[in-house]
């Protein structure tokens, strides 16, 4: 007797959430700014909340292409019904365009003000879908040497031709690595985004960023095809809290990452064992650079219809 098995389920990537052309998508590699917006849905409105999140995101993607691309993610293993929007924005200049949506874009206002909760469940618009006080945002800018008074050991900070501080331009994250762009994974085409956050001690802020960038590059080269890692800074939050976005091809790619972390790669081993802190500062490796207990990881899965038994698209 022969049996047939269905093909393995492949999780849709974030770029499958939108109908805009692939070359019009802004993502973690080519955006100048990423705004991470997090909101906790009320369990009773988990389906309506996801439908609102996806509808609003797609409206923005289609009507503001080239300015912003918005994707929705779920916490893979964290708090259920907590949504993460990543707003990939061309620049802070472009953000000013988005501010005007609230007063000038009738389509956006219709989506936001529409009644989302059925009358038999009390009625209400989007504000009933989320827990009060649960929405918060973090603004991230790709890290570049020379930012925030750190060492300019690698010349990737650029400005315009007139070299004016007022026209300083931060390179996008894809420029942080020597891996060709076509081999890089990003928030649009990866299967999982691991968001790693760590707070550097102020006295080691330059050494910590040098370590973080060196680690990214060693991982990017050895993990090409499996993972791409970018480094970001908080624009308006804690100035020495850094963020890694580790883009994994799939959840199982984490095993490959674990193998590299086990120091099977000589370059990675050298990065982890190097004495990054000079003797005049007491000497030491990377483990002295971070505030104890500040390193955290969070895995994010691109949202798709039907996840966690929620309703499909209506």
Residue range(s) in the chain whose domain bears CATH number 3.30.70.100: 14-138, 142-301
pLDDT at 237: 85
pLDDT at 14: 98
* Statement: residue 133 has pLDDT above 70: yes
Taking only the tens place, the pLDDT of each residue in 136-195 is 999 999 998 777 656 655 555 444 444 555 556 779 999 999 999 999 999 999 999 999
Predicted confidence band at 262 (pLDDT cuts at 50, 70, 90)? low
Q: Kindly write down the DSSP assignment for every residue of the chain, as one continuous string.
A: -----PPPP-PPPGGGG--S-GGG---TTT-SEEEEEEEEBPGGGHHHHHHHHHHHHHHHHHHSTTTEEEEEEEESSS-TTEEEEEEEES-HHHHHHHHTHHHH-HHHHHHHHS--B-GGGT-B-GGGTB-TT--EEEEEEE--TTGGG----S---EE-TT--GGGEEPPPGGGG-SS-GGG---TTT-SEEEEEEEEB-GGGHHHHHHHHHHHHHHHHHHTTTTEEEEEEEESSS-TTEEEEEEEESSTTHHHHHHHHHTT-SHHHHHHHHS--B-GGGT-B-GGGTBPTT--EEEEEEE--TTGGG-----
Taking only the tens place, the pLDDT of each residue in 114-125 is 988 888 888 888
pLDDT at 159: 47
What is the architecture, at CATH level 2, of domain 142-301?
2-Layer Sandwich (3.30)
Write down the CATH number for the domain with range 14-138: 3.30.70.100
| Range with lowest mean pLDDT among 5-14, 185-194, 202-211, 291-300 | 5-14
Taking only the tens place, the pLDDT of each residue in 182-199 is 999 999 999 999 999 999
């Amino acid at each position: 007797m022969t049996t047939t098995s269905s093909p393995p389920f492949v999780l849709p990537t974030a770029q499958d959430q939108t109908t805009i052309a692939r070359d019009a998508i802004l993502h973690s590699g080519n955006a100048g700014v990423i705004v991470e917006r997090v909101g906790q849905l009320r369990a009773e409105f988990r389906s309506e909340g996801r439908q609102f999140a996806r509808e609003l995101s797609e409206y923005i993607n289609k009507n503001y292409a080239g300015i912003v691309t918005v994707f929705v993610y779920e916490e893979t293993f964290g708090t259920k019904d907590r949504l993460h929007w990543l707003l990939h924005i061309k620049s802070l200049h472009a953000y000013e365009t988005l501010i005007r949506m609230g007063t000038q874009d009738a389509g956006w206002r219709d989506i936001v003000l529409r009644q989302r909760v059925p009358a038999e469940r009390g009625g209400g618009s989007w504000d009933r879908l989320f827990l009060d006080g649960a929405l918060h945002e973090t603004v991230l800018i790709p890290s570049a040497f020379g930012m925030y008074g750190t060492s300019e050991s690698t010349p990737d900070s650029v400005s315009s031709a007139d070299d004016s501080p007022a026209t300083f331009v931060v390179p996008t994250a894809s420029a942080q690595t020597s891996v060709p762009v076509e081999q890089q994974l990003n928030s649009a085409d990866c299967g999982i985004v691991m968001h790693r956050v760590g707070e550097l001690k102020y006295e080691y802020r330059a050494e910590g960023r040098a370590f973080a960038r060196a680690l990214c590059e060693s991982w990017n080269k050895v993990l090409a095809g499996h993972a791409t890692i970018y480094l970001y800074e908080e624009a308006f939050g804690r100035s020495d809290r850094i963020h890694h976005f580790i883009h994994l091809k799939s959840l199982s790619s984490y095993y490959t990452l674990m193998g590299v972390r086990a120091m099977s790669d000589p370059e990675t081993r050298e990065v982890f064992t190097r004495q990054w802190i000079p003797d005049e500062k007491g000497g030491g490796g990377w483990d002295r650079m971070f505030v104890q207990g500040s390193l955290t990881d969070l895995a994010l899965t691109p949202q798709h219809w039907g996840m966690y038994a929620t309703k499909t698209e209506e």
